[in-house]
């Protein structure tokens, strides 16, 4: 009988969460700068990110033997959380 695997320590999750948030911020800044430099529309930026995320999810399903529908469901939940969080943030403008 296989023993249940131990869960990673909470500190690992916290560190990974912090680092993934930093990666998200860095990607957002890079995309904003690139889009401004090349005069890309919001639709072009969103499309590019969708393409990249689709490739990452597809590779994860293929290489990791994961279920594509489960990964896509998880992705939808994450995108929704991020969008709702962004909508709730106060937009600061300089005058």
Render pLDDT for 1-52 as a digit per residue (tens, 0 to 9).
555 556 767 777 788 889 999 999 999 999 999 999 999 999 999 999 999 9
- CB atoms under 10 Å from CB of 12, counted, come to 10
pLDDT bracket for residue 95 (50, 70, 90): low
Q: Are 67 and 61 in contact (CB under 8 A)?
A: yes
pLDDT at 82: 92
The H or E element spanning position 38 is none
What pLDDT score does 11 carry? 79
Decide: pTM greater than 0.85: no
């Amino acid at each position: 009988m296989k023993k249940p695997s131990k869960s990673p320590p909470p500190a690992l999750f916290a560190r990974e969460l912090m680092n993934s948030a930093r990666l998200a911020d860095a990607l957002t800044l890079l995309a904003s700068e690139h889009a401004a430099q090349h005069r890309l529309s919001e639709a072009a930026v969103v499309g590019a990110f969708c393409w990249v995320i689709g490739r990452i999810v597809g590779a994860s399903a293929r290489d990791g033997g994961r279920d594509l529908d489960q990964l896509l469901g998880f992705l939808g939940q994450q995108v929704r959380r991020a969008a709702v969080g962004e909508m709730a943030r106060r937009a600061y403008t300089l005058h």
